[in-house]
Amino acid sequence: MNGSGTGQAPTVVESAMSATQRRTWLKRTLLVALVSTGLTACGSASGVNGGAAVVDTSDPHSTESSLPTTTDNPTTDNPTTTAAPVPLPASDVPVVQYRVQGLFPVTPPFLQGGWTTIYADGTLIAPFGGSAAAQPQVWPYDSGHVDPERVAALMAMAASSGLLGPAGPAQPPSSSISDPARTVVMLTTADGTFTHVVDGLASAGSETDAYRQSVQHIVGAISTLVMDAIAATQASTGVTTFYEPVALDVLTLDVTDAAPGPGPANVVEWTPADVDLAAMATCTVVTDPEAITFLQRNLAGPTYEQHGRQYRIASRVHPPGTSCDG
């Protein structure tokens, strides 16, 4: 969400969805990786048990979760087995990092879509699922919380599915899919991080690929956890609770006569004195409060000027414990 838009008016984000509408929207959005796509596994697990893809067809008006509160068998939605608990990392390290990134031509500077992150204490941070009157320079994030036991159950599910292990073989992506979306799931325990990168998660042939089915299942469980956490926060407060970032990922690109960038230039003076735009030609974590506030108050698209030089900027929320380059 780091592309188009012009101007420098304060960001206006509209949240016009009811809790029920929002739950349904989030479910559809987070399960987009499960629709008509092909597979390329860059990090997979050996000895994976096969499991049917999870597509939640429950009543969207229900407040009951489909994510088990105990460990479960990857072939069913209902808990049927008991597994040893998975040792989790420190509370400031994401247990889960998840995103779906479209594969399409981009115009620099460009940062990939932001991470949805889940932590061992039940804290959850996810890109806002509503609409905006105009594209902000920094897309806002929702925050929520679930019972930590549900996070432990999610990781036990991953373990029983073979997703907390070394990479293994997987079927190639479907040749009928052009530029499939890329799903990335990173699962972190006290013993290490296990990354699964899948291009086209549910194309034809997925029913015979046990690894792909296991990733589908964990993505469905993550979707439910995110949906429940955000819906519960909205239900208790009556409003959307935005995450207040303490860090941003920022990438800048020099604007020159030879490379002016797309569209007419709308020049905005860069006022945060302690942040040098020239030093951020590669992804940089910015923690300066003035710079964070300045970027949040602007819309995407303008050219920023500092010390007589002009830059285009890509920026996104930096959830604690994530990598700027990821």
User: What is residue 310's three-state secondary structure?
Assistant: strand
Both tokens of 93, joined, read 């390290």
Question: How does the average pLDDT of the chain come out, rounded?
Answer: 76
Backbone angles phi, psi at 168, to 5 degrees: -145, 180
Instruction: Please write the tens of the pLDDT for every residue from 225-246.
Output: 999 999 888 888 888 779 999 9
Across the range 249-261, mean pLDDT stands at: 83
Q: DSSP letters of 31-98?
A: TGGGSS----BSS--SSPPP-------S-TT-----S-SS---TT-SS-----PPPPP--TTSEEEEE
Q: Which amino acid is at 202?
A: A
Across the range 301-319, mean pLDDT stands at: 94
Point out the least confidently predicted range of 122-136, 159-173, 259-273, 300-314. 159-173
Point out the least confidently predicted range of 39-43, 53-57, 67-71, 251-255. 53-57
pLDDT of residue 287: 98
Instruction: Please write the tens of the pLDDT for every residue from 169-178.
Output: 556 566 666 6
Looking at the predicted structure, is the pLDDT value of residue 81 above 60?
Answer: no
* Secondary structure of 123-163 as H, E, C letters: EEEEECCCEECCCECCCCEEEEECCHHHHHHHHHHHHHCCC
pLDDT of residue 16: 39
pLDDT of residue 53: 28
What's the pTM value of the predicted model, to 2 decimals? 0.75
Q: What is the dihedral of CA 272, 278, 284, 289, to 10 degrees?
A: 0
pLDDT of residue 82: 57
Looking at the predicted structure, is the pLDDT value of residue 14 above 80?
Answer: no
pLDDT of residue 172: 58
Would you list the domain boundaries of the chain? Answer: 13-55+67-237, 248-317
pLDDT of residue 237: 85
pLDDT of residue 55: 29
> Who wins on pLDDT, 54 or 144?
144
pLDDT of residue 209: 80
pLDDT of residue 157: 96
Across the range 53-75, mean pLDDT stands at: 36
Point out the least confidently predicted range of 41-50, 89-98, 274-283. 41-50
pLDDT of residue 75: 41
Q: Which H or E run includes 211?
A: helix 210-237
In the chain, the N- to C-terminal Cα span, in Å, equals 15
